[in-house]
Amino acid sequence: MNTYNVVRVLANSGVHFPASTVYGDVEIRPACKDFDNERKCLDESFKLNKILVDVSLNSRISCVVSAENEDIAINISDDIFEEILDLKSREFSISKMDITPCGYIRDLESGILKPLTDNVFGPCGAFLRQRYLFQQIDKTQLFLQWDSELIERYKKSLHWTRNAYKESNLQIKIMFMWFALEALLKESEHDQIAPYIRWFLGFPSGTGAQFVSNEKNNRLKANEQYEKWKKKLTDALEKIRIFRNDSVHSGFRRFDFSNDELVLYEKIMIFGTSRCQDAVFTAMSNNLKTVSEFKEYVGIIFDSNDNMINDVCGNILYGLENLKY
């Protein structure tokens, strides 16, 4: 275990502290308290993150943590910062109490100082090319011509998914993706959506499984990770359901869960929302109107996906086996 000092710069439109103040394990201090090498490191962090922050004005928030490596230290410190900012936000309701991705981390044993940068893959530009002389109808134009219960569910589901992808907080992101699947699949208060998520993650069950070809079943089960994840996904989806309820009803916060749990839950929900939405789009394309009809034909919809084996084995199982914590 190494000891690190992690420092982040508070966001614009926040509170500017006139003197260094300590709150438990956290110090919030004014910009004028930086040493020259710290200010230089912050400038580099701003350039790497491409964020406009007033380096001469915005306060710094700092804590010391013990961790196995820098990434874990940053995650631990962010959770510590969030708790203090939650408390301070009540005192300054007109100001933004948040941290930026910018800052630095110092190994207190070696003294090495490094700028913080956000290495997470994020949104990027997309350039479309016109492939044909005459423009062809696309999925959105086709979709807007339809009208049914399933259509409205699909719209609501995409709304929650888009909100999820705008979130940097893993806990909120996971909840929003669960909301997206509830909007898509849940028919009543006591309806369970986990079995349908498992279906389109590659694990058919129940009466609908009879419509899945033996060849596809055998090819799925031939994967050496298949049986292992069959049980793990069942357990994980139940924990995500409880996680969702605890977060909403009991006020649980991100740091009430381990980072490993959150990373696994996020990956499962990313795979689950996209595959279930694709399956519902297939159902709508085949003139199914309600979620009850979708569930009735779930086996046929699953079996109709020609890329299913490659997707389950090459993307889903591979992705779950190679999580980056």
Judgement on whether residues 198 and 317 belong to the same structural domain of the protein: yes
Among 313, 294, 314, 319, which Cα is nearest to 304's? 294
Q: What is the pLDDT of residue 129?
A: 79
Determine contact, residues 300/308, Cβ cutoff 8 Å.
no
C-alpha distances (whole Å) from 272 to each of 99, 129, 159, 295 are: 30, 30, 16, 16
Q: Which residues contact 114 (CB under 8 A, 6 or more apart)?
A: 41, 70, 104, 105, 106
Q: What is the pLDDT of residue 237?
A: 96
The yes-or-no verdict on residue 127 having pLDDT over 80 is no
Judgement on whether residues 23 and 103 belong to the same structural domain of the protein: yes
Judgement on whether residues 316 and 213 belong to the same structural domain of the protein: yes
Q: What is the pLDDT of residue 83?
A: 86
Judgement on whether residues 62 and 166 belong to the same structural domain of the protein: no
Decide if 121 is inside a domain.
Answer: no
Q: What is the pLDDT of residue 122?
A: 64
Decide if 120 is inside a domain.
Answer: no
pLDDT: is 190 or 153 the higher one? 153
Q: Which residues pair with residue 104 across a beta bridge? A: 7, 115
Decide if 122 is inside a domain.
Answer: no
Judgement on whether residues 221 and 279 belong to the same structural domain of the protein: yes
Judgement on whether residues 102 and 146 belong to the same structural domain of the protein: no
Q: What is the pLDDT of residue 324?
A: 74
Judgement on whether residues 91 and 48 belong to the same structural domain of the protein: yes
Decide if 299 is inside a domain.
Answer: yes
Decide if 92 is inside a domain.
Answer: yes
Judgement on whether residues 143 and 111 belong to the same structural domain of the protein: no
Decide if 254 is inside a domain.
Answer: yes
141-170 pLDDT, tens digit each: 878 888 899 999 999 999 999 999 888 778
Decide if 98 is inside a domain.
Answer: yes
Q: Which residues contact 278 (CB under 8 A, 6 or more apart)?
A: 200
Decide if 235 is inside a domain.
Answer: yes
Mean pLDDT of 39-66: 91
Domain holding 288, by residue range, is: 139-321
Among 221, 191, 222, which Cα is nearest to 209's? 221
Number of domains observed in the structure of the chain: 2
Judgement on whether residues 190 and 286 belong to the same structural domain of the protein: yes
